[in-house]
Each structure stands twice: as structure tokens, then as C-alpha cells.
Amino acid sequence: MTFHISSPVKKIFISFFVFGTLNNILYVIILSAAIDLVGSSTPKATVLLADVLPSFLFKFISPFVIHLISYQNRLYSLVGLSTLGMLLISLTTTNMIGLKIFGIMLASLSSGMGEVSFLQLTHYYSSNENSISGWSSGTGAAGLLGSFLFMITTNLIGIPVWIVLLTFAIMPSGFLVVYYYLLPKPSHEYHEINDDSLMVEAEEVNDETEGIYENKLNVNNLSQHFNHTFNKIKPLIIPFMLPLTTVYISEYVINQGISPTLLFPLDELPHWLFSSYRDIYVVYGFLYQLGVFISRSSISFGLRIRKLYLLSILQFLNVVITVFQSVYDIPFTKIWLLLILIFYEGLLGGFSYVNTFMSVSEEVPKSNREFSMGSVSISDGLGIVLAGCINWWLEPKLCGLQVDRGRDWCLKGGSV
């Protein structure tokens, strides 16, 4: 399809691309800096859980309450939370891990609010495929850009990590610029959006919800509302939520639990890229995000994968392979083939994400699509939280097995 740069379709794609990039780039930067933030002796699952748990909890409760918050208020909230979070992360010292973790949690809460809100907002544009593909490509670009910039600025240029993190604190202001000056005003045949507050008002409001508005303290009405909401979620679990959750469990077990132990002798690696064992972890992160960006952008090129559970199986096979590599140093004796596997792992994760939400937009009735887009977003957060719980045990276990074999590389790293 051909369109002019000033066309509404083009503006929609670019706007959601920027939303996705800004919403996810801080998350990626924080994970890329995991070793620097907590040191090599602390499991990276600490950072992972702090970076995803608040986001997941927000997504978990959002189907029940998100409709009460205008899009405008959500926008100002996520800008404030993410900016404050990055300031705490970057300006606190190494012995103030508690404040760093709190800053990470604020940024995570912002990311969760953003993902739910912008995925729901795609529903209000007639060119739904362009808004979803723009958002998905943007989230993939965030991974690539964030990990690349972090690798270049810290590995190659040698800028102190805290300065790099502080620089990223100004990025959330871009949400406001795009929202007010680029994104076209939305319209939808099932809903109307007030131009002043962008509070969504549904034409069909069920009796249970009306009761809550009239009397928020009425326990029976609250119970009916929660039951009604849960019944709307249940049909989404098997076809959409479960396969996406399992893919994310596998890939984040690899990323944060196994990859910090997938190390090789530094004298066998090119020193221009790997000057420390910490650098290997950063390069893994960049290659993973490169794969995610390519696959999350695949919808723009007409590539669709409808067998979502196939992606779950393939990603679990990657877990098995990387565990064997960590424990037995097989099947890879050199780092290069392992780098390809990490890239492939990112491809599978991105394919799962974008094809899941495209399937929701195609298969769920329009009257329930906005709700479904927000609800299915619970899946990736749940997968990452479960992976973080697994990694809390797995990474120290794998590292201990390597130390027992005389390979203490996993204990070596840096912090800021």
C-alpha cells in the first residue's frame, strides 16, 4: 500500500511506532544494565522481577478498573513514573540497591500502564493493522535501539553507566509530543471518545457496571462486576494467553537465568567487543533484541504465523539446548553458533507477540476487542514473572555447577 507521509494512515503507524519504542526502551535498558545495577553476586532475577512485577500487577488488575481512567490521565501518569524511576536508578550509589530497585519498579509500573493503554487505543483506528504493526514494530525497535545504544556507549565508548541511564530519563516526554501533535484523533463505531479527556464511554454498559458507578461500596455489585469481567477473560486464555505466556517463560529463563552463565574464555574472543565477561551478557542482549525487532516488524511485510503453540514448543527447545550448554559445554564449543541461537530465540519471541495480538484483532468481535487487547497483555508479564521466580534458583545453581568444574567466570562482572 502506498501513502503520502502526511496521510492519516502514515501518522497512525508512526505514532504507535514511537509509543512502542518509548514505552519499552527503558525496560530494555534496565535489563541490559542488570549486572551493572546489582553486581555479579546478586541474581539478575532481582532486576528482572523488579522490572516486570509492577507492570504485571497493573496488567492483572487493569481489566477490572482501567476503563475508569482516561487515556490522558494514563499518559501523564506513565511519563511521571518513568522519569522519576530513571532518575532514582541513575543517581543513587551502588550501596543504595533498595532505591535502585524502587526506581526500577516505578519504570515497570509505567511500562505496564503504557502497554495496556496503547494496545487498547489501537482499537479506535479504522486502520487497525497499521496501529498494531506500528506498536509492535516500535516495541521491537526499543529492544534493538536500547540494547545497541547501551552496548555502544558502555562497551565501546566507555561512558559511565549512570550517565547513560540518566540520559534516558528525558525520553518519556516524547509521549506528550506525539500524542498531542502527531496522532490523529480517533473514532470508532462502537465507542465515542471525548476530545477533552479521551475518556472512553461504551454505548453498551452492563447492569453490573452501572451498579458500581452508582454505589462503589456495594459488595454484591462489585462481585458481579468481577465475575462478569473474569467470564470475558476466560475465552481468551487457551487460544491467546497460554501460548504467549509459555513463550515468554522460556525466553526469559534463557535471557536472565541461563545466558549469564553462557560464557567463554576471554582470550578466545575479539577484544574490541569483549573486554570482560560482563560484555558477553550485553552482546547476548543486543542479538536477542535484534531478533525481536525483526520478527515484531514482520506483519508490515505480510508474514503471519497462526499456529501459536508451535512457537511455544520451539522456544522451549531453546531452553533445553542452552541448559546443556551451561552445564556440559555442549553443543557449542565456540561462541559464534550460540550467538545465532540467541538471535533465533529473539525471533521466536517477537513472532509470538505480534501474531498473538493480530489474532486477537482478527478473531475477537469488535464489541469486545478493546477489552481483549488489554487483557491478553497480561500474558507476557505473567510469563516473565514466572521466569523470574525460576531464575532466582536457576542462575545460582548453574553458576555453582560451573564453579565446581573450575569455571568461575559467572562470578566475575561489574557494577556501578
What are the residue ranges of helices labelled H in 237-307?
242-252, 277-296
Paired strand residues for 202: 191
- The pLDDT tens digits for 323-333 are 999 999 989 99
> CA-to-CA distance for 208 and 219, rounded, in angstroms?
11
Return the closest-CA partner of residue 29 out of 120, 204, 162: 162
Return phi, psi of residue 27, to 5°.
Answer: -60, -45
- pTM for this prediction: 0.81
pLDDT, average across residues 16-27: 93
Would you state the CATH architecture of domain 8-206+218-405? Up-down Bundle (1.20)
Find the distance separating the first CA and the last CA of the chain, reported in whole Å: 48
Instruction: Please state the domain extents for the chain.
Output: 8-206+218-405
Q: Print burial letters for 259-290: b (CB count within 10 Å at least 16), e (below 16).
A: bbbbbbebeebeeeebeebbbbbbbbbbbbbb
Q: What share of the chain is helix, strand, coil (3-state, %, to 5)?
A: 75, 0, 20
pLDDT at 161: 87
Flag whether pLDDT at 197 surpasses 50: no
pLDDT at 74: 94
Flag whether pLDDT at 212 surpasses 90: no
